[in-house]
């Protein structure tokens, strides 16, 4: 090996080592965040029904929040339906599609029956997968009762 070849090899090795060090130095660190209590234990009280909506990463952050809210509303519909079913309450509809009607009504973003009360972004995966969006929604139990009465 000639002196020039050895010099080129040494320079090449130095460049590779430099690039590896630069790559390791620029690795993003993730700042862990405290997981909200409402994610580990959904609230329960005498005034509201509560549910959590979840969305993965989307192209647009606003779309992720909207998707999480819509999923929270759909989950809220399932919770209310489960609550009504456990109370042995019968609601008859002309189409016999009580469950899907209720979930559709609560999932409809044009209606203001539900309220987003908290939201949380998890960049590091402290609660679930990284880059997930979580929203806590609620609905007044009296309003839910009125919605059920309107289905008849």
Chain-wide mean pLDDT for the chain?
79
Residue 67: CB partners within 8 Å, gap ≥ 6?
53, 55, 58, 133
Dihedral sign, Cα of residue 106, residue 107, residue 113, residue 117? positive
Give 55-67 pLDDT, tens digit per residue. Answer: 999 999 999 999 9
Give 100-137 pLDDT, tens digit per residue. Answer: 666 666 555 444 678 999 999 999 999 999 999 999 99
- What is the pLDDT at residue 60? 93
- What is the pLDDT at residue 98? 56
- What is the pLDDT at residue 19? 66
What's the pTM? 0.69
Going from N- to C-terminal start, the domains of the chain cover 36-150
The residue among 133, 116, 142, 138 whose CA lies nearest residue 42 is 138
């Amino acid at each position: 090996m000639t002196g020039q070849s050895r010099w080129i090899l040494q320079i090449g090795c130095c460049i590779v080592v430099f690039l590896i060090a630069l790559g390791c130095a620029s690795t993003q660190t993730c700042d862990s965040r405290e997981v909200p209590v409402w994610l580990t234990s959904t609230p329960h009280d005498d005034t509201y029904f509560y549910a959590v909506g979840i969305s993965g990463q989307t192209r647009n952050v606003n779309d992720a929040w909207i998707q999480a809210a819509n999923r929270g509303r759909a989950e809220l519909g399932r919770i209310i339906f489960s609550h009504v079913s456990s109370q042995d309450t019968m609601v008859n509809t002309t189409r016999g599609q009580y469950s899907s009607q209720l979930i559709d009504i609560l999932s409809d973003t044009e209606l203001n029956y539900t309220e987003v009360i908290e939201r949380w972004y998890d960049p590091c995966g402290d609660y679930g997968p990284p880059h997930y969006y979580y929203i806590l929604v609620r609905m007044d139990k009296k309003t839910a009762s009125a919605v059920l009465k309107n289905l008849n």
